[in-house]
């Protein structure tokens, strides 16, 4: 794995970005930690005084007061610890949730080539798992390091007032311990970074296989999938054990050093006690402070170790944020939509459009000759007037779906220009384009949510009355009234429990509610039985009314509604013209298709 690192400045820039607006919480947490430090330093001195006065035979009431003071301070420390923990968790979750939101928003804005290269399972691990590793970094790193350094310094100052030899011995111990632990802190980081990657690979594998459960079982692939799952989990287990073992080496070294520190504190205090320099109460105080120093040392070491773990996650997060989408402006959700497309049906124009799915898409005016064989579309030119329906025909692989993806701007053209409503789609804000163009494909994505949320796409501004009217208009009313909870009925993820026709009609309803100026129907009836297809065709008639439409089809019934026909062959325009004119011309390709039968040829 390639070695990666994050500079201190990058850490700080990232922290400032996501802690901005949370200064009040940070200030409150800092005050609590400093107060807690003061109480930790004071309490051993209270106990030292208690012991010395008890041995001297002091009055019982005075001893009772010191004992109550000691207990009160201890309880105060515990209460401050609970409050600090609450604020820490609140701060960590608030900041990391903002990171999750930004990452999800950004990745959803990247073009399809990015999502093709990264599985949903991997992205879940990136957006949630990696971000989780930053929680401690946001909420505790700076405050804990500063607070524990202050605590150590305060203890050494108090011991210096007691006797310089005690402070010198423990000061040297603290310095050597920090040097040793900070040198060892990176031992486990490479393994933890590999563990994050292995975990992402495992989640990606699980997500893909769960989506393909039916195909895996029907093709007797269960044993193979389980074997792959076993190998991935075995690899994850091995790297996790390695990382845990290296972390254990650091922790065991820490405990040995702390034992040495306690021994030093005990030896120097015993020596000074026998010399008559300090009292028995002071001996207790020195041992207490020696033990106390161990905690901030351990916390500082742990914070730097967590910082290194966060660094591995931060590299991966920043790597995503640095990916530039091939579609300019797609990830910019906040820029106002300008220019704005007019209401009503939209004109569509393709001017010398060529396209390749190759990773590096040239920006030059002409396509290099070496890439000609990779082009999916070549020099496509046509104009579709507003309000007309285009029947898009061609064999599988001819470029039909690619043409619609370019129009919806899931990809940008390699060469040429596409215009919608007289404006280049490259000049339109992506939200404005998607608002005015509606697309329905064969694969309908339904969510585990209510019927209302699935139809409105979680847009609360769409009224129930509009939804119900759309269901009536598109022939879904009889199905709707059979639902137990109406619009509040929960649908299964992926459309489980619905027929293909019902899922298709629900997708039409989504588009109907948006009222776009252009509708793209990609093989919308190719998988349906004749009875369901008839219902779908009626819904399509209502959808395309007073709208421009592009219908990808290979059935005669679907083609009959088209005003114009465009036939693609191997990415080239074979034929374009008015349907009735082409149908009556014996020399046209469309005429030949009608004579042979669309279903026989366009497969």
d(CA 593, CA 603): 12
Structural domain contains residue 543: yes
Residue 361 pLDDT: 43
Residue 167 pLDDT: 85
Q: Give 384's contacts (C-beta < 8 A, 6+ positions apart).
A: 347, 348, 349, 390, 548, 550, 564
Sheet (strand 437-440) strand order: 437-440, 518-522, 548-552, 389-393, 564-569, 572-578
Q: Is there a single domain that holds both residue 295 and residue 396?
A: no
What's the token pair of residue 225? 């999938």
Residue 531 pLDDT: 61
Q: What is the pLDDT of residues 536-556, one digit of tens each?
A: 777 788 888 888 999 887 666
Q: Is there a single domain that holds both residue 301 and residue 203?
A: yes
Phi-psi region of 77 (alpha: psi -120 to 50; beta: other; left: phi over 0): alpha
Of 591, 558, 557, nearest to 577 by C-alpha is 591
Instruction: Mean pLDDT check: name the lowest of 126-135, 169-178, 297-306, 334-343.
Output: 334-343
Percentage of the chain modeled with pLDDT above 90: 7
Domain end, chosen from 276, 293, 321, is at: 321
Q: Is there a single domain that holds both residue 15 and residue 151?
A: yes
Residue 26 pLDDT: 79
Q: In this model, does residue 388 exceed pLDDT 80?
A: yes
Tell me the average pLDDT of the chain.
79
| CATH number of the domain enclosing 96 | 1.20.1560.10
Range of the domain at 562: 387-410+437-601
pLDDT band at 381 (very low <50, low <70, confident <90, very high): very high
pLDDT band at 495 (very low <50, low <70, confident <90, very high): low
Q: Is there a single domain that holds both residue 261 and residue 401?
A: no
pLDDT band at 368 (very low <50, low <70, confident <90, very high): very low
Structural domain contains residue 376: no
Residue 555 pLDDT: 63
Query: What are the phi and psi torsion angles at 485 (to 5°)?
Result: -125, 20
Q: What is the pLDDT of residues 409-418, one digit of tens each?
A: 888 888 899 9
Residue 564 pLDDT: 92
Q: Is there a single domain that holds both residue 471 and residue 570?
A: yes
Structural domain contains residue 419: no
Residue 390 pLDDT: 93
Percentage of the chain modeled with pLDDT above 70: 85
Q: Which residue has the tokens 């004119």?
A: 581
Cβ–Cβ < 8 Å for 78, 85? no
Q: What is the pLDDT of residues 183-223, one digit of tens each?
A: 776 676 677 667 777 877 787 788 777 777 777 776 777 88
Structural domain contains residue 432: no
**Number of domains comprising the chain:** 2
Q: Residue 439 carries which DSSP code?
A: E
Q: In this model, does residue 351 exceed pLDDT 90?
A: yes
Residue 384 pLDDT: 93
Q: Is there a single domain that holds both residue 175 and residue 257?
A: yes
Residue 540 pLDDT: 80
> Is pTM beyond 0.85 here?
no
Q: What's the whole-number mean pLDDT along residues 375-379?
A: 88
Q: Answer with the residue of higher pLDDT: 504 or 563.
A: 563
Instruction: Mean pLDDT check: name the lowest of 101-115, 187-201, 367-381, 539-553.
Output: 367-381
Residue 186 pLDDT: 65
Residue 367 pLDDT: 44
136-151 burial, b at 16+ Cβ within 10 Å, e below that, comes to bbbbbbbbbbebbebb
Q: Is there a single domain that holds both residue 259 and residue 400?
A: no
Residue 502 pLDDT: 77
Of 309, 5, 2, nearest to 132 by C-alpha is 309
pLDDT band at 125 (very low <50, low <70, confident <90, very high): confident
Q: Is there a single domain that holds both residue 170 and residue 292?
A: yes
Q: What's the whole-number mean pLDDT along residues 221-247?
A: 84
Structural domain contains residue 421: no
Q: Is there a single domain that holds both residue 317 and residue 391?
A: no
pLDDT band at 364 (very low <50, low <70, confident <90, very high): very low
Domain end, chosen from 321, 356, 379, is at: 321
Taking CA 328 as the corner, what is the angle to CA 324 and CA 334, rounded to the nearest 5 degrees?
A: 95
Structural domain contains residue 330: no
Burial class of residue 571 in the structure, from the number of CB atoms within 10 Å of its CB (0-12 exposed, 13-18 middle, 19+ buried):
buried
Pairing verdict, β 518-522 and 548-552? parallel
Residue 504 pLDDT: 79
Domain end, chosen from 321, 350, 371, is at: 321
Instruction: Mean pLDDT check: name the lowest of 8-22, 207-221, 318-332.
Output: 318-332
Residue 2 pLDDT: 43
Q: Answer with the residue of higher pLDDT: 120 or 466.
A: 466
Q: What is the pLDDT of residues 519-534, one digit of tens each?
A: 988 765 555 556 666 7
Q: What is the pLDDT of residues 16-54, one digit of tens each?
A: 787 777 778 878 888 888 888 888 888 888 888 888 888
Q: Answer with the residue of higher pLDDT: 155 or 204.
A: 155
Q: Is there a single domain that holds both residue 393 and residue 313?
A: no
d(CA 249, CA 304): 16
d(CA 361, CA 374): 11
Structural domain contains residue 127: yes
In terms of average pLDDT, the best of 182-196, 282-296, 456-470, 487-501 is 456-470
Structural domain contains residue 153: yes
| CATH number of the domain enclosing 483 | 3.40.50.300
Q: Is there a single domain that holds both residue 269 and residue 399?
A: no
Q: Which residue has the tokens 């108090």?
A: 158
In terms of average pLDDT, the best of 94-108, 111-125, 277-291, 340-354 is 340-354
Residue 496 pLDDT: 63
Neighbours of 1 (CB within 10 A): 7
d(CA 557, CA 575): 20
Q: Is there a single domain that holds both residue 105 and residue 180?
A: yes
């Amino acid at each position: 794995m390639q070695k990666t690192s994050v500079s201190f400045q990058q850490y700080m820039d990232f922290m400032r970005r996501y802690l901005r607006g949370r200064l009040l919480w940070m200030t409150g947490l800092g005050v609590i930690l400093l107060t807690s430090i003061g109480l930790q330093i004071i309490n051993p001195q209270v106990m030292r005084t208690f012991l010395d006065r008890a041995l001297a035979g002091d009055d019982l009431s005075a001893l009772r007061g010191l004992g109550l003071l000691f207990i009160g301070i201890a309880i105060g420390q515990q209460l401050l610890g609970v409050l600090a923990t609450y604020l820490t968790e609140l701060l960590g979750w608030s900041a990391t949730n903002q990171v999750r939101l930004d990452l999800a928003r950004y990745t959803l804005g990247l073009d399809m080539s990015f999502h093709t290269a990264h599985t949903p399972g991997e992205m879940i691990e990136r957006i949630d798992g990696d971000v989780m590793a930053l929680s401690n970094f946001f909420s505790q790193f700076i405050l804990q390091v500063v607070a524990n350094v202050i605590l150590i310094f305060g203890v050494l100052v108090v011991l210096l007032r007691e006797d310089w030899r005690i402070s010198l011995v423990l000061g040297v111990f603290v310095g050597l311990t920090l040097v040793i632990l900070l040198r060892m802190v990176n031992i486990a980081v490479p393994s933890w970074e590999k563990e994050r990657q292995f975990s992402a690979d495992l989640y990606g594998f699980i997500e893909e296989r769960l989506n393909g459960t039916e195909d895996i079982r029907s093709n007797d692939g269960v044993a193979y999938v389980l074997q792959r799952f076993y190998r991935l989990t075995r690899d994850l287990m091995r790297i996790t054990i390695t990382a845990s073992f290296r972390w254990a080496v650091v922790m065991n070294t820490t405990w040995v050093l702390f034992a040495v520190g306690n021994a030093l504190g005990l030896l120097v205090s015993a020596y000074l006690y026998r010399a008559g320099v300090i009292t028995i109460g002071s001996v207790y105080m020195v041992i207490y402070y020696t033990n106390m120093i161990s905690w901030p040392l351990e916390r500082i070491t742990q914070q730097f170790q967590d910082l290194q773990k966060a660094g591995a996650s931060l590299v991966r997060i920043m790597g995503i944020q640095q990916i530039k989408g091939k579609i300019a402006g797609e990830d910019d959700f906040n820029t106002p939509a300008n220019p704005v497309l007019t209401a009503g049906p939209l004109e569509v124009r393709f001017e010398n459009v060529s396209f390749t799915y190759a990773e590096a898409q040239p920006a030059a005016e002409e396509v290099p000759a070496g890439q000609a064989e990779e082009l999916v579309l070549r020099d496509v030119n046509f104009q579709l007037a507003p309000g007309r329906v285009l029947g898009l025909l061609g064999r599988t692989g001819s470029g039909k779906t690619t043409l619609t993806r370019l129009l919806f701007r899931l990809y940008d053209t390699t060469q040429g220009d596409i215009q919608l409503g007289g404006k280049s789609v490259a000049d339109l804000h992506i939200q404005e384009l998607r608002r005015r163009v509606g697309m329905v494909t064969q694969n309908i994505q339904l969510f585990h949510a209510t019927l209302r949320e699935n139809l409105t796409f979680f847009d609360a501004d769409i009224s129930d009355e509009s939804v119900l009217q759309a269901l009536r208009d598109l022939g879904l009313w009889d199905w709707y009234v059979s639902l137990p909870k109406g619009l509040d009925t929960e649908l299964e993820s992926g459309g489980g429990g619905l027929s293909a026709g019902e899922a298709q009609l629900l997708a039409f309803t989504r588009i109907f509610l948006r009222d776009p100026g252009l509708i793209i129907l990609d093989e919308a009836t190719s998988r349906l039985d004749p009875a369901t297809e008839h219902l779908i065709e009626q819904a399509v008639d209502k959808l395309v009314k007073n709208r421009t439409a592009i219908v990808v089809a290979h059935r005669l019934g679907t083609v009959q509604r088209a005003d114009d026909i465009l036939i693609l062959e191997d990415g080239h325009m074979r034929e374009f013209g008015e349907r009735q004119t082409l149908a009556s011309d014996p020399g046209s390709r469309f005429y030949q298709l009608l004579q042979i039968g669309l279903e026989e040829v366009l497969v």
